[in-house]
């Protein structure tokens, strides 16, 4: 192996993960000594502190690090990893805030501390996914995230829906992991290494590509399909509605934001680092892969949006919309352009804010009505103008209407798709957005237009309110001043980070 591929090894790469891990274990230990009746709120606060500390440590390390750091040739802390780790941490922070006032007052689980610990473990897995450059490390991250998420879904073990969701999640997840490993075995077998940079190096040597190109391609398609489970896109999307509906709301938010972002982080890195530049008869492998990724994106957009139109349960509707959004985010990956990472990261950040916010408002309504039905939101405007206004912004943002974060995110993907003439993708994105107006406005119609059964003022508990406010500030702030995000990206990993990931091989 050539040495110049890998930068300096430095133990500080794992410090943020260590912070998270220590917090999680600490919480589990405290739980043993806590009396049964005691409030578990401090546990959530502890979790919040742990995540915040991890984020601070990560920021400090990045600030003082002279260059890209690596640990044991399996974790790599570059701008890309920092950006995605920070998104994951912010997402987990919001999820913890959502859980602060009890996961579900009507059906207490009694496992609040374990819930916090598992969330932190899942975050740990997600961060490993964002930083892994080794297929083994990646798989460990993937499994930590998945295993924790299985339990997070089924934490209300007496609820039939939760159990059903968890079971479906485990089975689909298991199959997806198997599919991923199967694909990876081709690649590792052909290259003789599991480090993705080394794989790229090994595969581009000699005549491997011309002799085994088909096998590599098949391996890639299997890995792609396996990872689609995490990002909730076609083909492994069938779990999404049932799991989103059955899981406690905080878990649903986690799956929609953190889990999806982590999946995308690794998918992007894997495709760009290892595969997209391998030379084939048509130039580069990315040209061969394009139709397949595009097909996944288009199928996700249509399946998600069309099925969401028929839903009466808001959680289920947002689940289908989550599939559609995965489709939008796949567009830059299919229609490659130099801004693609910016576009996807922008969308993921916008999606994090608007989804967390929408779930928070839904949470406030659920705590009162005990139902996630669309009708239970009726008349919300009269009960809580602030929550109604917040939901207006979140829904407009999800639909991609100005002047919100979601608008710029979609616009950015849109101009990127047309940049290289990917008309089919751009037009599908446009049509899919129109379809999505229908169901996002159906929510707004209930909130603003339909009269509700009661006019009793509706309050939100502190945690939920905080999430709503943070998400609202984020969604509107990015909407009004998109420069914030562009500047942040510039500072974090320069606009040409894609070339950075290519490791100078462009």
Partner 1 sequence: MTWEQTIPNLIILLPVIGLILVGLIPSKHGGAIRLVGQLIPLAVLLLAGSLYGSFNILSPQGQFTSSIRWFTLTFPGYDASQHMFVMQEIPIAWSLSVDGISLALLMMTALIIFVAALASIYEVRRLKMYTLFLLLLEIGAYGVFMTESLIWFFIFFEFTLISLYFLVGQYGGFDRERAANAFLLYNGLGSLFMLIAFVMLFHATGSWDIITVREMLAAQPLEHSQSLFIFFLFLIGFGIKLPIFPFHRWMLEVHREAPPAIVMIHSGVLLKMGAYGLIRFALGFLPEIAREFAWLLAFLGLVNLLYGAFLAYVQNELRLVFAYSSLSHMGIVLFGLAALNAIGLQGAVFQMVSHGLISALLFFILGAVERRMQTSSLKTLGGLAEAMPILSGTLLLAAMANMGLPALSGFISEFQSFLGLFQSEHWLYAAVGLIALVLTALYMLRATLGLTFGPLKVPAVRSENGTVALDDVQPQEVMPLVLLTAAIILIGVYPNVLATPLAATLGDFVARMGGY
- Which of 284, 295, 403, 424 is in the footprint of partner 1 by CB under 8 A? 403
Total chain residues near partner 1 (CB under 8 A) = 33
Stretch that binds partner 1, among 91-99, 213-221, 279-287, 337-345 (CB under 8 A): 337-345
Stretch that binds partner 1, among 136-144, 161-169, 467-475, 480-488 (CB under 8 A): 480-488
Beta bridge partners of 69: 77
Stretch that binds partner 1, among 155-163, 259-267, 292-300, 331-339 (CB under 8 A): 331-339
Residue 337 sits in the site that holds partner 1 (CB under 8 A): yes
Smallest separation, CB 479 to partner 1 (Å): 10
Of 345, 349, 368, 367, nearest in space to 357 by CA: 349
Residue whose CB is less far from partner 1, 15 or 419? 419
Rounded to 5°, the CA angle 336-342-343 comes to 65
- Asked if residue 414 lies in contact with residue 429, where contact means CB atoms within 8 angstroms, the answer is yes
Residue 185 sits in the site that holds partner 1 (CB under 8 A): no
Residues 431-450 that bind partner 1 (CB under 8 A): 431, 433-434, 437-438, 441, 444-445, 448-449
Residue 96 sits in the site that holds partner 1 (CB under 8 A): no
Residue 309 sits in the site that holds partner 1 (CB under 8 A): no
Residue 281 sits in the site that holds partner 1 (CB under 8 A): no
- Which of 149, 243, 289, 401 is in the footprint of partner 1 by CB under 8 A? 401
Instruction: Report the C-alpha gap between 212 and 230 in whole angstroms.
Output: 28
What DSSP string runs through 397-410?
HHHT-TTSHHHHHH
- Asked if residue 128 lies in contact with residue 77, where contact means CB atoms within 8 angstroms, the answer is no
How far is residue 5 from each of residues 14, 70, 225, measured CA to CA in Å? Answer: 20, 11, 28
Smallest separation, CB 437 to partner 1 (Å): 5
Stretch that binds partner 1, among 10-18, 122-130, 228-236, 394-402 (CB under 8 A): 394-402
Residue 455 sits in the site that holds partner 1 (CB under 8 A): no
Window 482-501: contact mask with partner 1 (x via CB under 8 A): xx--x---x----xx-----
Stretch that binds partner 1, among 161-169, 215-223, 351-359, 401-409 (CB under 8 A): 401-409
- Asked if residue 320 lies in contact with residue 302, where contact means CB atoms within 8 angstroms, the answer is no
Token pair of 21, please? 């891990």
SS (H, E, C) 164-204: HHHHHHHHHHHHHHHHHHHHHHHHHHHHCCCEHHHHHHHHC
Residue 470 sits in the site that holds partner 1 (CB under 8 A): no
Window 412-431: contact mask with partner 1 (x via CB under 8 A): --xx--xx------xx--xx
Number of H helices, E strands in the chain: 21, 4
Instruction: Report the C-alpha gap between 166 and 247 in whole angstroms.
Output: 8
Of 367, 365, 360, nearest in space to 384 by CA: 365
Instruction: Report the C-alpha gap between 73 and 51 in whole angstroms.
Output: 25
Of 335, 243, 309, 262, nearest in space to 442 by CA: 309
Binding stretches for partner 1 (CB under 8 A): 337-339, 381, 396, 401-403, 407, 414-415, 418-419, 426-427, 430-431, 433-434, 437-438, 441, 444-445, 448-449, 481-483, 486, 490, 495-496
């Amino acid at each position: 192996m050539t040495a110049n591929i890998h930068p300096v090894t430095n133990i500080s790469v794992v410090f943020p993960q260590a912070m998270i891990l220590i917090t999680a274990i600490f919480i589990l230990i405290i739980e043993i000594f806590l009396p049964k009746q005691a409030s578990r709120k401090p546990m959530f606060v502890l979790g919040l502190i742990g995540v915040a500390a991890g984020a601070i440590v990560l920021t400090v390390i990045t600030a003082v690090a002279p260059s890209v750091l690596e640990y044991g040739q399996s974790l790599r802390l570059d701008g890309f990893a920092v950006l995605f780790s920070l998104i994951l941490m912010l997402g987990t922070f919001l999820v913890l805030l959502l859980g602060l006032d009890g996961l579900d007052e009507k059906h207490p689980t009694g496992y609040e501390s374990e819930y916090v610990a598992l969330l932190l473990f899942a975050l740990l897995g997600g961060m490993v996914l964002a930083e892994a450059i080794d297929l083994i490390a990646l798989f460990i991250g993937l499994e930590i995230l998945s295993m924790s998420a299985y339990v997070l879904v089924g934490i209300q073990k007496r609820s039939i829906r939760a159990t059903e969701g968890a079971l479906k999640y485990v089975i689909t997840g298991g199959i997806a992991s198997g599919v991923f490993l199967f694909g990876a075995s081709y690649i590792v077998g052909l290259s003789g290494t599991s480090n993705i940079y080394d794989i790229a190096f090994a595969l581009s040597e000699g005549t491997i590509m011309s002799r085994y190109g088909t096998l590599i391609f098949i391996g890639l398609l299997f890995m792609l399909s396996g990872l689609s489970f995490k990002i909730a896109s076609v083909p492994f999307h069938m779990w999404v509605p049932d799991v989103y509906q059955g899981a406690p709301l905080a878990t649903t938010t986690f799956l929609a934001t953190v889990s999806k972002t982590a999946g995308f982080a690794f998918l992007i890195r894997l495709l760009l680092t290892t595969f997209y530049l391998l030379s084939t008869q048509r130039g580069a492998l990315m040209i061969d892969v394009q139709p397949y990724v595009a097909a996944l994106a288009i199928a996700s957009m249509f399946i998600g949006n069309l099925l969401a139109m028929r839903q009466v349960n808001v959680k289920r509707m947002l689940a289908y919309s989550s599939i559609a959004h995965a489709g939008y985010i796949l567009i830059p990956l299919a229609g490659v352009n130099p801004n693609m990472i910016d576009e996807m990261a922008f969308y993921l950040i916008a999606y994090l804010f608007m989804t967390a916010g929408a779930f928070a408002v839904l949470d406030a309504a659920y705590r009162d009505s005990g139902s996630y039905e669309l009708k239970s939101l009726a008349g919300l405007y009269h009960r809580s103008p602030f929550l109604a206004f917040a939901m207006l912004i979140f829904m407009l943002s999800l639909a991609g209407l100005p002047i919100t974060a979601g608008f710029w995110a979609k616009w950015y993907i849109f101009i990127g798709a047309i940049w290289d003439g990917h008309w089919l993708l751009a037009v599908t994105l446009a049509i899919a957005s129109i379809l999505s107006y229908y169901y996002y406005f159906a929510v707004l119609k209930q909130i603003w237009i339909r009269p509700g059964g009661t006019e009793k003022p509706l309050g939100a508990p502190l945690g939920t309110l905080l999430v709503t406010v943070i998400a609202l500030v984020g969604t509107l702030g990015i909407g009004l001043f998109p420069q914030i995000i562009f500047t942040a990206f510039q500072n974090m990993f320069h606009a040409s980070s894609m070339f950075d990931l290519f490791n100078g091989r462009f």
